[in-house]
Chains A and B, each alone.
Chain A
């Protein structure tokens, strides 16, 4: 009996009295009854349910992540695939033609059927009755916005009388007004008709389109680079005059209008004005010269004109230079389709956006994202590593340090938009405003650094990702074995020498892990960027050919912001949705690439510093 009670006490230390009676009455023989599984140990000892729970959680995570990646990949990859072109003849005699973007089913209201012409009504009713009143419908991208005021239209199956795939249905991507669908009819050069059938027009198009596009690109290059250069020089000259003007004003305020300082400043101003006047002539002449070349190119391009007929009977004249890409959608071989598909990808990756970002490329956004992320890394890593170094190695442990550490960890939980507001107030207005006052006063009131820009965005994100870097670095520093530090101290190294030569190199892989996490977090962040410099369309890249080559004050485009803009701010949102997926896919790929680069570096460092034979 004494043995029984002592065992019971071990099993239920909290309730000695109660359990003793239960055991003796339940067990009968005095042996303890245990819940057993299989060969005698308890379920909780095996831990099977917890293992299943843990595995199940992981499985759910993996399924969700893979599902997201597959969704983005499939829809992102499909965006640029050239599909066939369909032409529907509807019961009311209208013709709807274009590319089918998606299909769906819905319950049509009775008025819709009642509105059909008499002879189709019964047929429609029987079709609907067959499908339990549910109608299939297709969303057709009809384009031709300037003709009928619509980009897309729904076509229900019960209204369709005929579905055709016109042999000469062309898909035309244009510089303005979105896509155009129609049949090519005539090709004009210098007002002379050179082709008047679809076949000949198409062959003429192929003959001249490449050179016309080349001229158009030349023109754009002139507008961008040559005119940009002149404007840039002109602006610099103007700023010099403005600076002299301000110096004169200041001299008058400070020394009075009769002082020698003021007179000298006036003299300088007159001199600058004379220089500007002279230079201005030159600028105007150069400007006119470039304009002439642009006009010549335009005139040359204007010689080529196309005439299309749409499937609902409109005629449309179009300059050949307007057309970015055109193809007869129903005559393409698989190889042609692949060619167009790849061509569109190249355009997407290399070109500037057009049509409110829903067409064209995203190169400025790619460039902005990568540059911003790199600047962010350059800022946050040294800053965070040094802060963590002091916190872990130099600061004396105590309540103050604990508080600081908790505060840093909590910083990671602050909503990112708050960082955006802080960045706008502190970096843009306070720091940037002060810089403008001191160095760019001639340009005021238009701000240089005193507004959103890629530098301020990078710094804001650096602040946002600082906790990640500090925490990772602290852990990496703590993981450096103390035997190594002691070896260094015993060799007569000072604390800083030990840090610099032993601890930091050894902690480098861990620090790189922190950087990878920071990069992944920073590159995908959008909300704060809207306040501190990401814009819908940036006219210039932050790095270009004009001195000083790196313009960190400029606003920039960002893929994350681009996605938001496409998906929620676009006029033509149906056309933008596929681009959202493609851009998301691209952003994921870029972040993956940046991370792979960092992981490669980390592995090299790890091989160098951490691997040990024992």
Chain B
């Protein structure tokens, strides 16, 4: 009903002069409206509310200076599941992900509205210890970013900065994390060599090992395979599969097939708005909105 109202408004606002991009293809009124600055409530599947919730994003907005990048995003990330964020470039997936562990704080011009809660604890309240908060989450970046030190030191970096120097504990964590990241067998004989000598795929798995070393409550992955070749990508995807259940994973991906393969839930974002969010199977097979279908079938974007 509400959708109908907006579309009626569109017809008067648009002056019969639609963007040429959509002229030859199917008209996509809702996406056009979003592009024109309208806000639509997202289409969220009811099944998500039945899950145990780790992260609750409440009406989250974000501005880079005066440009708004995220518009009233509300979504719940279920416990122990893999949730994928998809959408065309510049739709705010990475920004949303980086907002979860407040990495956007490092950008001077960013201002935010709304809030997020991790197991009920507010992330954006005043007085939140950002460093402690970040320790509760692991992050894997787009490009492998191993530190210029040995493999061993890379993995236990989160413990080192906590001041843990007990050799026994460190060795244990190192082995456990590397096994968890399916890298142990490849590097166990050269733990004391520089991490920069590893291949790209190995470096990325090392970053996963580093991210899970401090046993975080959530894993954030920002297009973890975009810099990797297909074999390394397959290994990372296997790894995500193994981590499912142990960790709650929020993953940003450009690759629809990847989202379909690895995730339990998928959220489709467009120009800073959450458009549709639901179980991956139903979102890919039978999306509620035709815009989502257009995107995942490759008709635009």
User: B-contacting residues of A (Cβ < 8 Å)?
Assistant: 396-397, 481, 483-494, 497, 501-502, 505-506, 608-614
Contacts and interface: CB of A to CB of B under 8 A. Distances in A.
A608 B194 contact: yes
B161 A493 contact: yes
Interface residues of B, number: 38
Interface of B: 101, 103, 106, 108, 131-132, 134-135, 137-139, 141-149, 157-158, 160-162, 194, 196-200, 203, 207, 210-211, 214, 220, 227
B207 A487 contact: yes
A612 B203 CA distance: 10
19 contacts: A397-B108, A483-B141, A486-B145, A487-B141, A487-B210, A488-B147, A490-B141, A490-B211, A491-B157, A491-B158, A491-B214, A494-B161, A501-B161, A502-B147, A505-B149, A610-B148, A611-B196, A613-B196, A613-B197
Given A490-B101, A490-B211, 20 more contacts: A396-B108, A397-B108, A483-B143, A484-B147, A485-B106, A486-B141, A487-B210, A488-B147, A489-B134, A490-B134, A491-B134, A491-B139, A492-B131, A501-B147, A502-B148, A608-B148, A609-B148, A610-B196, A611-B194, A614-B199
Contacts of A487: 139, 141, 145-147, 207, 210
A493 B144 CA distance: 18
A492 B196 contact: no
A484 B141 CA distance: 10
Nearest to B106: A489
Contact of A492 (B148, B149, B198, B214): B214
Contacts of A497: 161
B148 to A, nearest CB: 4
Contacts of A486: 103, 106, 139, 141, 145
Nearest to A506: B148
Nearest to B210: A491
B145 A481 contact: yes
Nearest to B134: A492
A491 B103 CA distance: 11
Contacts of B138: 490-491
Contact of A489 (B103, B108, B203): B103
A610 B146 CA distance: 11
B106 to A, nearest CB: 7
Contacts of A614: 144, 199-200, 203, 227
B147 A612 contact: no
Nearest to B153: A501
A170 B299 CA distance: 102
A484 B145 contact: yes
Contact of A491 (B143, B161, B194): B161
Given A486-B141, A612-B196, A613-B198, A492 B158 contact: yes
A607 to B, nearest CB: 9
Contacts of A613: 196-200, 203
A502 to B, nearest CB: 6
A614 B207 CA distance: 15
Contacts of B135: 491-492
A483 B145 CA distance: 6
Nearest to A481: B145
Given A489-B103, A489-B134, A505 B148 contact: yes
A493 B207 CA distance: 15
B245 to A, nearest CB: 23
Nearest to A500: B161
Contacts of B210: 487, 491
Nearest to A487: B145
B147 A490 contact: no
